[in-house]
Structure 1
Amino acid sequence: MSDSKYSVLFMRDDADVRRYRLSPFWLRFFLCSQMFLLFCAAGGMYLGYRGWKETKALNVENKRLEQQLVDAQVRLERLGNMEKILKSYDPKELQALLTSAAAEPEPKQPELNLNRIFTRTDTRQVGVDNLQAKMTKRKVSVSFELNNLQTSKPIAGEVDFVFVRKNGSEAKIKLNRNDLTFQIQRFKRIRTTFLLPEGLNADDIFGLRLEIKGNDDKVIFSETYPLYNILA
């Protein structure tokens, strides 16, 4: 029976019966090859799923590291700005003030709150790009690009500016509110012009603080920009 074979019949209504002789070896070979292909397909699906999970985990870790890098850059820039403010003080003046204060007690002056000056608020609702300022005598022009980061709905609010002196105090600015109110779907270029406040000279200014409020009067973005960085 070593030469036994299987007979395979093919029958059609409009043709003669066809008969084929098939060796058991080829039948076993066909079944084994199908099982092998099935195992290969299952292994490929498993490796693909495993690779997808690893890629997803790497993407999450990458986003976390990118956010840490952005936060570190913001802190570094803030520390650099603090250092520049401290360097702007005349050491002799500071020594004279300390000597005078030790000799004759005076009412306490408000402390220089660098955290208040350089605290950055960003609720990820709007983005500010390409902020530039031009100063001609006592006339100041400011422009920047305001982007709506909420693509699903428009956003409205108002922009405000305050000058920050080198001693850390703030100087209010008389602004044209018509230039600084906005309602945008995607993007708007903000431009406004104003005069330096009375008694304030350009040499006394360290930077410009930008503050953006939403319709509910809550601050959604604020940042202090050193003047030497934004003057065109």
Structure 2
Amino acid sequence: MYFMKKLSAVCLFLGSLVQGVKSITCDTDESASIEVLETSGISWKELGITPSCALDPSLVNNLTDKNWDSSIKTNEWLIQITIDPCTLCHKEEYMFNDLSHQMKENYPNVQFGRVYINGNPELAVRLLVEKLPVYYFISGNNYYNIPPSVLPVKEALAAYSKHQFTEFTKIQGIFSIAGPFRFAYKLLGKALSFYSQFNSPYTPLLINSTMFVLTMLFIRQLRQKRKEKIQSKKEK
């Protein structure tokens, strides 16, 4: 009976070990991945990168203008905003891919997403992109700016287990992407996305005409305010 209990315990341990190894097994060939990392000059050993996972983006969702709203309304999201191709972003992309696999087993509620803004003009406006790459952690309506230094697996797992990334800078303010003007940014982004779909010689003319009309309306409003101000002074 004692022997059977011991055997059962060993089997359970080996089963959990195999399951743990399976959870972070990635699809790319390890030797080929190491060759790519070595060629790129990335210090992948010092960063603790798992080569086969670094080149496997299968757990990173491609977020676009069309699926953004339906995707981020559930779960928590770690988002990478970049362009394609980005010759200077390989290091961060490899770390991001690797982290997506390493976090899957312990924190399945955290989803990973990548936005290529050169193909998604609406999101480029809505997310007020000023530099690349940039990282956001999204939890409900809360946005946190995640520094790239947290991307290595060891640092990221420690940070999330300690405070779920909420210790980092929270994006807030009237004109921020989480502020009250976010709906205006969305409308402006949709307008830009709509115009970008046209492939017509008349599109620039249409945009210029629209800008001219808006400018004239703005000037007219300023003149009207100036007249009202002058009239007010005369009455005094």
What is the TM-score when the length of structure 1 is the normalising length? Answer: 0.27
Higher percent of residues as helix? 2
> Which of the pair has more CA radius of gyration?
1
Higher percent of residues as strand? 1
What is the TM-score when the length of structure 2 is the normalising length? Answer: 0.27
